[in-house]
């Protein structure tokens, strides 16, 4: 990163939150807010245009949410280091965010000192995930050998399996997927089992991770 103040963009659909964060960060030495956005699409465009050092990104927003913004930034070749801010602890969201390139995942009620520390840590390339990640997520996030996935071709998914996989990635359970697709719960369970087999995954979390890594979810 270049010398000078750490340049920050804040993206949050709640005006009081983003303006409050901006005022808070403005009181921190060598940190400067260079843009505020109230929606995901506009925030992604602003980050790509302004190329800040760090972006604070709300997870839950109408329209393009935080994960959608991360996708746009990845596709746009952005080098901005993103910290996801959320009001709830969600392992799957944390996993998706990290896979899509987020450097941090923080609860919004963290103390001022922790926010400042997280911004500075992410700016120099460290990853900050609080609350502490679970053992499953920690295992997934461990650095892997460059050849770790070689030879692990995934059998093509049918159209129905792709639909089930997308809903799995959205956090839906078998009963909810069955309702959404007009299928029996037993049929959904069979589809999930086949998906896990095709991805050589021991559980839904690992299957969804592999799908995200390959752009399938």
pLDDT digits (tens, 9 = 90+) for 183-205: 999 999 999 999 999 988 888 87
Find, among 207, 38, 30, the residue nearest to 9 by Cα: 38
DSSP state at residue 27: T
At residue 117, the pLDDT reads 95
- 9-23, 93-107, 126-140: least confidently modelled range: 126-140
At residue 147, the pLDDT reads 42
Task: Tell me the pLDDT of the chain averaged across its residues.
Answer: 84
C-alpha–C-alpha distance, residues 96 and 209, integer Å:
7
At residue 160, the pLDDT reads 92
Two tokens at 143? 């650095």
Query: Residue 25 in contact with residue 36, Cβ under 8 Å?
Result: no
Domain ranges of the chain: 6-141, 159-213
C-alpha–C-alpha distance, residues 2 and 9, integer Å:
16
Give the architecture-level CATH label for domain 6-141. 3-Layer(aba) Sandwich (3.40)
What's the pLDDT tens digit per position in 73-107? Answer: 988 999 999 999 988 777 777 777 877 889 998 98
Task: Report the topology of domain 159-213.
Answer: Arc Repressor Mutant, subunit A (1.10.10)
At residue 150, the pLDDT reads 43
C-alpha–C-alpha distance, residues 8 and 6, integer Å:
6
pLDDT band for position 145 (cuts 50, 70, 90) = very low
Mean pLDDT for 152-164 is 83
Query: Residue 168 in contact with residue 189, Cβ under 8 Å?
Result: no
pLDDT band for position 137 (cuts 50, 70, 90) = low
Highest mean pLDDT among 26-35, 141-150, 164-173 belongs to 26-35
At residue 152, the pLDDT reads 57
C-alpha–C-alpha distance, residues 201 and 71, integer Å:
24
The answer to whether 6-141 and 159-213 have equal CATH topology is: no
pLDDT band for position 146 (cuts 50, 70, 90) = very low
Phi, psi of 203 (to 5 degrees): -155, 175
Mean pLDDT for 9-17 is 95
At residue 156, the pLDDT reads 87
């Amino acid at each position: 990163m270049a010398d000078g103040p750490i340049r920050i963009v804040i993206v949050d659909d709640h005006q009081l939150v983003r303006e409050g964060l901006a005022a808070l960060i403005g009181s921190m030495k060598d940190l400067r807010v260079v843009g505020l956005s109230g929606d995901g699409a506009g925030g992604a465009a602003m980050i790509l245009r302004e190329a800040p050092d760090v972006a604070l990104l709300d997870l839950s927003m109408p329209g393009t949410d935080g994960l959608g913004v991360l996708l746009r930034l990845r596709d746009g070749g952005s080098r901005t280091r993103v910290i996801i801010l959320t009001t709830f602890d969600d392992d799957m969201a944390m996993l998706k965010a990290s896979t899509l390139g987020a450097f941090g995942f923080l609860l919004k009620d963290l103390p001022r000192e922790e926010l400042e520390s997280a911004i500075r840590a992410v700016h120099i390339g460290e990853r900050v995930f609080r609350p502490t990640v679970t053992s499953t997520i920690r295992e997934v996030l461990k650095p892997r050998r460059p050849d770790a996935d070689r030879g692990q071709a995934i059998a093509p998914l049918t159209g129905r399996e792709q639909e089930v996989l997308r809903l799995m990635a959205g956090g839906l359970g078998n009963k909810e997927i069955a309702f959404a697709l007009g299928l029996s719960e037993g049929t959904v369970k069979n589809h999930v089992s086949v998906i896990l087999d095709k991805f050589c995954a021991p559980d839904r979390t690992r299957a969804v991770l592999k799908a995200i890594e390959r752009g399938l979810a």
